[in-house]
Chain A
Amino acid sequence: METAATIRAFVAGLLSRKADKAPFADSESLVSRGRLDSVDVMEIVLFLEEKYDLDFADRGFNLDDYDSVDHILALLKEFGRIGAE
C-alpha cells in the first residue's frame, strides 16, 4: 500500500506541475488521455530507476507500462519491488 501511495504522490506531483489538479483514479489512463506526456514518462522512468533500483534495459519500452498508477504498480510487481521501500 505504501508503494501505491508513493507512486500516486509522484504522479500527482507531475500533474500539478502542469497545473492539472483534477483527481485521478489508479486505473485512469493518464498518458492515453493526454494528461501526462512523454517527458513526464521519462520522469517516471527516472523515478522508478532511482527509487526502486530498476533497470529497464532488457525489458524494452512499452508505453502501456506507465499509462496509469495500476500499470506502474504492475510493473513494480513484475520486478518484485512491491513493498520494497
Chain B
Amino acid sequence: MKWTALRIIPPLDRYPAVVRFAQTPLGKVAVLAVYAAGLLGLERFFWIDMMVILAAMTFFPQWRRGLLLLGTTYWLLKYTLFDWHKLAKVIHDLGLESITDWVALKSSVIAAVILYCACFYAAAVRWQDTWLFRRPLVTMFSVYFVLVFCALHAPLDPAVRAYLWGFIIVFGRYIWFLAYSLTDRRSAHDDGLPWQFRSYLPFWIGVTTSPAPIAKGAAYLRRIEAKTPEELAISQLKGVKLLYWAGVLVVFETIVNNVLHGAPGYLEEYFHIPYSLGLPIFRDAMNAAIAGHPLSWYSNWLSLFAQLLKNVLYIAIWGHVIVSGARMAGFNALRGTYKPLAAKTLTEFWNRYFYYFKELLVEFFFYPVYLRYFKKHPRIRLFAATLAAAGFGNVLFHYIRDIEYIIDMGLWQALLAFHVYIFYGMVLGTGIAISQWRQRQNQRRRHWFREEVMSRVGVVIFFCFVLIFDDPDRTLTLKDNFVFVLSLFGIG
C-alpha cells in the first residue's frame, strides 16, 4: 500500500459493502447517528432539529423536494439569521424603539421579501422576452438600488423608512438566491415557484449569515440530487466524511493557533500546547505599522502567511459543515474549499478557495460579459470578463452585504469607504485574468522545480499580498495598507 493511500478519514463511499449497508434501514440509522455525533462534537446547537429533517429525507427520499421545502420553511421560522442588528440601529436612529413590535416587523418584512421574490421570478418567467426581463439580473439590481436610494433620500414617514430598510436588509440575504432562480427561468426542467424557494437559505446553512448560496440554486440541486438508493448512500457517506474532516481541521486550526500565537481559540478548554512561536496576529502587526511602530519585517511576513493559512482553515471548516448537510439531504454538492494551498495558478487557487462564491461571480458577472463583449479581441475579452467578476461582482457582493455602510454614509460615501476593497478587486481580477491567459497559452510541461514548487510559492505570495487589502474594516485607507506593505520590506 502506498503511503498516499493512508487517510485520516477512510473513503467509506468507495467501499461497496459499506455503501450496501448504508442503504439498509439499520445502515441508514447508523449513518444518521454518526452524523449526529459529528454535529454534536462540533457544538452545532441545532443538531436535533437538523437530524429530524435529515432522518425524514433519508427514509422518505421520494418526498425529498417536499421535505426540503418544509425543512427550509421551518428553518426560516426558527433559525435563519438575518442582520436584525442593522435594522435595530436604523430604528434607534429614527427614534422608533418605543413603538416597534419586533415580532410583527420581522415576520412581515420576511413575508414581504419572499412575496417580492416570488412576484419578480414569476414576472421574469412570464415576460422573459420583454426589454425589462431580457436581462433580469440588471433589472433586479436596478430595482434594489432604487429602493436603497428611496430609503436614503425619499421624503418618507419614519416608520415606512424603517420598514423599507428592513426589506432591503432581508432581501440582501435572498438576492443571490433569486439571481440563481432567474438564470434557471429558461431551463427545460424549470422548477416551479415553491421549488425555487426550497433552495433559498436551505436548512443546511445552519446559522451562517453569509449571503453566498452554498449549493447554489434549484438548477444545481436538480443536477446533483441522488436518483437511486445507492447514490443517496454514497452522498450521505461523503457527507459524514466531510463533517468529520471539518472536525479534524478544527483540531488542526486549534494547534496552529496555539503554536503560532499561543491562543488556541475554539478548543481552548481541551488543548494547551505549552509552546508558542508568539507570532503577532496579522491585524496587530498591521495596526503597529499604521501607528508608526512596525514590527520586524520577518514578523510581518510570518503574521501574513499565518493569516492566509488561518483564513483557508476557517473557510474550509465553515463550508465543509454546510456542504456535509446538503450531502446528507441527498444533494451531492462539491466541497466549498479543496486544497487551495496546493494550487499552481491564481485561477486554481481562486477556484479552490471558496468554490460557491467563485461560481456566483462566474455565472452572474464573468459569462454575461464574456458572451457579449470584445469577441474579436480575445485578450481584452478575457480581461474584461474576469475584471467584471473578480473586480466588479466581488465588490458589488460585499457592498450589498455590508449594507450598514450605505445606511450610515449614503451610497457615494459608502462607495468611497470601499476604495480599498475596490483596489483589492482590481488587483485580484487582473492577477486571475493574467493567470487564465497564461494557462490558455502555455500548455507545455515546465521544469519540475518551476512546476511543483515555484508556481505554488508564487500563488501563496500573491494571495498574501491581496489579503492585506481584503479587510472588512472599511475605515482603513489605501495609504494604511501600503504602510504595511512597505513594512514587509523593512521600510517605515
Contacts and interface: CB of A to CB of B under 8 A. Distances in A.
Interface of A: 17, 29, 32-34, 37-39, 42-43, 45, 49, 56-64, 67, 74
B312 interface: no
B436 A61 contact: no
Interface stretch (B17-25, B48-56, B293-301, B357-365): B357-365
Nearest to B219: A64
Contact of B371 (A39, A61, A64): A61
B334 A38 contact: no
Contacts of B363: 61, 63
B347 A39 contact: yes
14 contacts: A33-B334, A34-B334, A38-B351, A38-B362, A39-B436, A45-B367, A49-B375, A57-B371, A57-B372, A58-B134, A60-B186, A61-B371, A62-B183, A63-B363
Residue in B184, B366, B370, B443 with the greatest tally of chain A CB atoms within 10 Å: B370
Contacts of B187: 62, 64
Main secondary structure of the interface of B (DSSP, over half): helix
Contacts of A37: 351
A64 B223 contact: yes
Given A42-B436, A61-B368, 20 more contacts: A17-B443, A32-B220, A32-B224, A33-B224, A38-B351, A38-B358, A39-B347, A42-B370, A43-B440, A49-B375, A59-B371, A60-B186, A60-B371, A61-B371, A62-B183, A63-B219, A63-B359, A63-B363, A67-B223, A74-B188
Nearest to B221: A32
A62 B216 CA distance: 13
B132 to A, nearest CB: 14
The 4 closest A-B pairs by CB, nearest first: A61-B367, A32-B223, A38-B362, A56-B371
Residue in A34, A37, A56, A59 with the greatest tally of chain B CB atoms within 10 Å: A37
B429 to A, nearest CB: 14
Contacts of A63: 183, 219-220, 359, 363
B276 interface: no
B183 A61 contact: yes
Contacts of B439: 39
Nearest to B359: A38
A37 B372 CA distance: 21
A29 B223 contact: yes
B349 to A, nearest CB: 12
Contacts of A57: 371-372
Interface in B163-192: 183-184, 186-188
Nearest to A63: B363
Residue in A45, A49, A56, A63 with the greatest tally of chain B CB atoms within 10 Å: A63
A19 to B, nearest CB: 12
A58 B359 CA distance: 21
B106 interface: no
Contacts of B261: none
Contacts of A17: 443
B401 interface: no
Contacts of B372: 57
Contacts of B89: none
Contacts of A42: 370, 436
A31 to B, nearest CB: 8
A35 to B, nearest CB: 10
Interface in B458-488: none
A60 B362 CA distance: 13
B135 interface: yes
Contacts of B440: 43
Contacts of A39: 347, 351, 436, 439
A42 B351 CA distance: 14
Contacts of B359: 38, 63
A63 B187 CA distance: 10
Nearest to B372: A57
Contacts of A56: 371
Contacts of B368: 60-61
A58 B135 CA distance: 9
B186 A62 contact: yes
Interface in B115-130: none
A29 B224 contact: yes
Nearest to B373: A57
Contacts of B351: 37-39
B207 to A, nearest CB: 27
